[in-house]
Chains A and B, each alone.
Chain A
Amino acid sequence: MRKEHEEIFLSEYERKELLRNRIYGVLPVLAIILLICLWFAASSNPASKFPSPMSVWERYLKILEKPIKDLGLMGHIWASLKRVFIALAFAWLLGISFGILIGWNKKANALLGPIFTAFRAVPPLAWVPLVTMWFGIGEFPKVLIVFVGALMPVVVNTQAGIANVQKEYMDIGTIFHANEWQMLTEIAIPSALDAIFAGIRNSTSAGWMVVLAAEMLGGKSGVGFLIVRGMDSGDYPLCLLSMICIGVVGYLLAIVIQFLERIICPWTAKKSN
């Protein structure tokens, strides 16, 4: 009886969901078409000096034939992404560990929390002069600056998630006589996973933004470098093309993270209301 009831409920829900999804599938396409129309309109007036869609498309075809500094468009995107991935790997590892430490241990938070809050206020790019002085303008300083930018959101969100575990969940641990380690690993960390993932999401978009800025300050590869190159040579279609790539890659990164979250936290995807 009960099981049947449950199935009917789910299938009804799924039918509605399907209908809703169709609308949600159409709307973004509509928005993109609208945006391109606007773009055409804005660039149709030569006085605006706005690169037209056609000129950007032509620039795209050209970069396929004639690489810039030995790298094609994909090569430059990959150069930027590589820096982000290395920086994110370290930021996640260290940020989550540190966030758990100061979220769980009140003494550690009292000791390190204020320093960290002060550091947070410094924008990642403010580190550029010091980092350049110490490490020059190679690959490492860029990764380091991205790391700094990506670290903050992970630490902040992890700390908040671990420090604010609902008392009711901790009570379950107490009733079953969990020790401190079990409290942390069986209850606090899993219940904080959605907060941790919010941090991971923010750090990814922050990392992607910071890498482009870091590349604009110096270097010979990456999408940020392409923008500076376009600006210096008056090649505005190249600038716009790079900007579009930044947007598309940023969007794809967000989707990858979402996918990751579904795999690591399957229970959030299965919520039925």
Chain B
Amino acid sequence: MDSQKVKLKLEHISQSYIVKNQVFDAAVDVSMEVRDSEFLVLLGPGRCGKTILLNMIAGLEKPVDGKIYLDGEEINGSDERIGMVFQKRALMPWKTVMQNVEFGPKIKGVPKEQRREIAQKYIDLVGLQGFEKSYPDELSGGMKQRVSIARAYANNPEILLMDEPFGALDAQTRYAMEEEVQRIWQAEKRTVIFVTNNIEEALYLADRIVLLSNCPAHVKAVYDINLPRPRDTIDPEFLRLRKEISDNTDLAL
């Protein structure tokens, strides 16, 4: 596989809203390329427009300007090849873990037995065997995000968008989940676009980091991270990069 092949391309993407009769720019002229099977991290301060960017890639909202290409073809609206792990209200509380994870195949009309098998594979992969019949409200925050990740994978997407999946977790669980996501990504190579506002998390996970500015979002810098995995967070090179990116980051307003 050619790892330099461009999987997804954003061209001059802008987004604005009318807020109180005024035009509010949320993203201005964002262009970037996402390579096949890479782990790309979008790093940006809080409320800078990260979710909006992902929503546009996912087809949940339309940009006012610009184009998005997947495998060289322009896409409009949501695409089957793109999956998403949401930042908020990720799971359907009326469905059990199993029912949540098998949702994608079920929507596609995969017969019950077959989709259960697929779902079970990913439930096992995220380490939730034994919780198939639990409802989301019975699970801890970390477990919920595991379900959300399993659900996205079970639909077999080519690109996986993850919107601050661990933002609401405590530090301990967060570290564990970061390791987990890296393990899953290595086991099931997909193109991942991972959003975070945490520099350390970005450095731990990313092949490349796209640094975004404050709102309205635009690309400030792109960093290639060539450290060996799993990464050592106190390695001098890690710390140097961390400082370099940190110095270049806008403070959240």
Contacts and interface: CB of A to CB of B under 8 A. Distances in A.
Interface residues of A, number: 28
Interface string A170-208: 011111111000100011001101000000000000000
B89 A169 contact: yes
Contacts of A3: 130
A45 interface: no
Give the one of B80, B137, B155 with max A CB within 10 A.
B137
Nearest to B139: A6
Nearest to B77: A174
Given A171-B86, A176-B107, A177-B107, A191 B137 contact: no
Interface in B83-110: 83-84, 86, 88-90, 92-95, 103-104, 106-108
A2 B143 contact: yes
A31 B77 CA distance: 60
B78 interface: yes
Contact of A176 (B104, B140, B143): B104
Nearest to A173: B107
A266 interface: yes
A178 B83 CA distance: 13
A272 interface: yes
A174 B82 CA distance: 11
Contact of B78 (A175, A271, A272): A175
A267 B135 contact: yes
A49 to B, nearest CB: 54
B11 to A, nearest CB: 22
Contacts of A258: none
Interface in A156-177: 166, 168-169, 171-177
Contacts of B95: 190, 267
A168 B94 contact: no
B137 A171 contact: no
Contacts, number: 66
A195 to B, nearest CB: 13
A222 B212 CA distance: 72
Contacts of A15: none
User: Chain B: interface secondary structure?
Assistant: loop
A205 to B, nearest CB: 25
Contacts of B127: 2
B138 A169 contact: no
Interface string B118-152: 00000000010010000111101011000000000
A66 B88 CA distance: 65
Nearest to B87: A168
A37 interface: no
B221 interface: no
B78 A174 contact: yes
B92 A174 contact: no
A22 interface: no
Interface string A209-230: 0000000000000000000000
B54 to A, nearest CB: 11
A167 to B, nearest CB: 9
B251 interface: no
19 contacts: A2-B140, A166-B89, A172-B90, A174-B59, A175-B60, A175-B82, A176-B103, A176-B104, A177-B78, A177-B107, A182-B107, A186-B103, A186-B107, A190-B92, A265-B94, A267-B93, A267-B95, A267-B137, A270-B137
Interface of A: 2-3, 5-6, 166, 168-169, 171-178, 182, 186-187, 190-191, 193, 265-267, 270-273
Given A168-B86, A177-B80, A191-B94, 6 more contacts: A2-B143, A171-B60, A190-B95, A266-B135, A267-B135, A267-B136
Q: 3 closest pairs, A vs B, by CB? A: A168-B89, A190-B94, A267-B135
